[in-house]
């Protein structure tokens, strides 16, 4: 591991909470595809499988920011453990109902409750922010976590689909639930690095989403999420049309690999100046990288094009988290980061639905127009809101507060 990455793990507890965060994030890439694989195998109804997966994603998008808001107010341990137990109970109910052919409405009920799963990635980034705020190490830490995200998306779907098809249909979601339980309970047992919860009076100004800069980031990432959701669906359809459907997971893994490598290199660099121009450049690069996808003729060319497209993802996500920290009061940092993930989740649902409709109407080749249009929409939103991103929220520094063996400066909107 290069020395900048070794340096961020010099602080006590960092290796433990980052490892726990990796396990807790695996369900993000395993649960949805695991449910699709399980339900399609048990019932043969792909429409039902896709609808259930979308329900889980939209539920998490709606509930996730509220859980993170409670975390900022009451602390990770007090909120994450009960929320995780609700999500695990819902996963169990969904598996049982699918196995014993319960009515469809029961499946949707439990799928909606699965959305109580916490945004583990935001919890880990919040811990890094406490340790390395206003230092170059925070950029490196965010870069490392983006690499971890991509590793999850490279291996998670392969593990989930493989277990459900080779072992038994429920195996994929079952393992995802196990990862969630181990990751969250291990993470919340680590009190020394847990961010200090902020008293209720620090939340009188309402949701973090009232920040104009955060609104721009979330809206842009709805369009960006549509890119990701559409590419997943269209790539599967394109591979099937080429007669090699099984290759779809490998092609998508190459897409994530490009992002993973770019994030690792990006973390070794140190930038001066405001992050907003780099963020806008990254959004533009993602949009431009969608153009070659309109010309794909075979799976090899598609894999190369997706690898190149993936190079702009992690750097843009890393810069986004830096902007969230600038535009959201520190008492609401976890909530702010989760809103970005929410925007992505909503976009993924919209993009996958739109891509499916286009594929049914005009075929797989036409489907890549959806990520192309989504990329253009992201650029438009980014340019329209760019002035807001250049005006960070002033942070008021106050007295130090002690908790769980650490201290953190209070701040709020000045």
Q: Cβ(230)–Cβ(374) under 8 Å?
A: yes
Q: Which of 158, 159, 171 is nearest to 91 (CA)?
A: 171
Task: Measure the CA–CA gap between 116 and 89, rounded to whole angstroms.
Answer: 10
Low-confidence stretches of the chain (pLDDT < 70) are 1-2, 46-47, 198-209, 245-246, 391-414
pLDDT of residue 372: 93
> What domains can be seen in the chain, in order of their start residue?
1-199 (1.20.1250.20), 207-395 (1.20.1250.20)
Q: Report CA 74 to chain centroid distance, whole Å.
A: 23
> 290: which DSSP letter?
T
C-alpha dist (Å) from residue 66 to 89, 130, 267: 19, 21, 30
Token look-up 């090699």 returns: 244
3-state helix, strand, coil in the chain (%, to 5): 80, 0, 20
Q: Which residues contact 370 (CB under 8 A, 6 or more apart)?
A: 226, 230, 234, 351, 354, 355, 358
pLDDT of residue 393: 58
Task: Measure the CA–CA gap between 198 and 209, rounded to whole angstroms.
Answer: 18
Q: What is the pLDDT of residues 322-335, one digit of tens each?
A: 888 778 777 777 77
Task: Measure the CA–CA gap between 350 and 47, rounded to whole angstroms.
Answer: 15
pLDDT of residue 88: 93
pLDDT of residue 396: 44
Is residue 402 classed as helix, strand or coil in its secondary structure? Answer: strand
- Residues across the chain: 414
Q: Which residues contact 306 (CB under 8 A, 6 or more apart)?
A: 231, 235, 251, 252, 254, 255, 258, 293
Token look-up 């975390």 returns: 71
Q: What is the pLDDT of residues 31-76, one digit of tens each?
A: 877 887 788 778 777 667 777 877 888 888 788 888 888 887 888 8
φ, ψ of residue 400 to 5 degrees: the values are -80, 145
C-alpha dist (Å) from residue 32 to 49, 51, 73, 149, 174: 9, 10, 29, 16, 12
Give the DSSP per-residue string, 255-276: HHHHHHHHHHHHTT----S-SH
Q: What is the largest CA-CA distance in the chain?
A: 64
Q: Compute the chain's Rg from CA coordinates.
A: 21
Strands (E) in 325-389, as ranges, are: none
Q: Cβ(185)–Cβ(23) under 8 Å?
A: no
Q: Which residues contact 396 (CB under 8 A, 6 or more apart)?
A: 411, 412, 413, 414
C-alpha dist (Å) from residue 307 to 30, 147, 288, 304, 313: 21, 15, 13, 5, 11
Quick one: CA dihedral 21, 180, 82, 322, positive or negative?
A: positive
Is residue 322 classed as helix, strand or coil in its secondary structure? Answer: helix
Pull the structure tokens for residue 257. 């690999």
């Amino acid at each position: 591991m290069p020395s900048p990455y070794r340096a961020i793990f010099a602080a006590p507890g960092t290796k433990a909470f980052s490892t726990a965060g990796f396990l807790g994030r695996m369900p993000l890439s395993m649960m949805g595809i695991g449910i699709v694989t399980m339900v399609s195998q048990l019932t043969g109804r792909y429409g039902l499988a896709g609808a259930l997966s979308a329900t889980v994603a939209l539920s998490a998008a709606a509930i996730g920011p509220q859980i993170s808001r409670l975390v900022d107010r009451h602390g990770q341990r007090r909120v994450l453990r009960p929320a995780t137990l609700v999500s695990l109970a819902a996963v169990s109910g969904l598996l049982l109902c699918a196995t014993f052919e319960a009515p469809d409405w029961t499946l949707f009920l439990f799928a909606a409750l699965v959305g109580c799963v916490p945004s583990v990635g935001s919890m880990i980034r919040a811990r890094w922010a406490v340790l390395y705020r206003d230092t170059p190490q925070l950029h490196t830490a965010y870069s490392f976590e983006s690499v971890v995200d991509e590793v999850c998306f490279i291996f998670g779907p392969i593990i989930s689909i493989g277990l459900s098809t080779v072992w038994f249909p429920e195996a994929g979601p079952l393992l995802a639930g196990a990862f969630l339980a181990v990751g969250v309970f291990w993470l919340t047992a680590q009190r020394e690095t847990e961010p200090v919860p902020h008293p209720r009076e620090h939340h009188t100004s309402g949701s973090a989403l009232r920040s104009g800069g955060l609104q721009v980031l979330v809206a842009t990432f709805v369009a960006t999420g549509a890119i990701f959701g559409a590419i997943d669906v269209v790539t599967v359809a394109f591979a099937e049309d080429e007669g090699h459907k099984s290759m779809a997971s490998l092609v998508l893994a190459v897409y994530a690999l490009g992002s993973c490598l770019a994030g690792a290199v990006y973390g070794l660099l140190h930038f001066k100046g405001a992050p907003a121009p780099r963020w806008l450049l990254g959004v533009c690069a993602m949009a431009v990288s969608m153009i070659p996808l309109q010309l794909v003729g075979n799976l090899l060319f598609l894999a190369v094009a997706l690898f190149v497209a993936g190079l702009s993802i992690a750097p843009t996500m890393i810069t986004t988290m830096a902007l969230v920290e600038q535009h959201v009061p520190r008492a609401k940092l976890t909530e702010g980061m989760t809103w970005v993930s929410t925007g992505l989740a909503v976009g993924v649902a919209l993009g996958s639905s739109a891509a499916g409709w286009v594929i049914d109407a005009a075929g797989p080749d036409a489907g890549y127009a959806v990520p192309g249009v989504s990329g253009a929409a992201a650029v438009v939103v980014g340019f329209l809101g760019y002035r807001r991103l250049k005006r960070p929220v002033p942070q008021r520094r106050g007295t130090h507060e002690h908790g769980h063996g650490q201290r953190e400066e209070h701040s709020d909107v000045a």
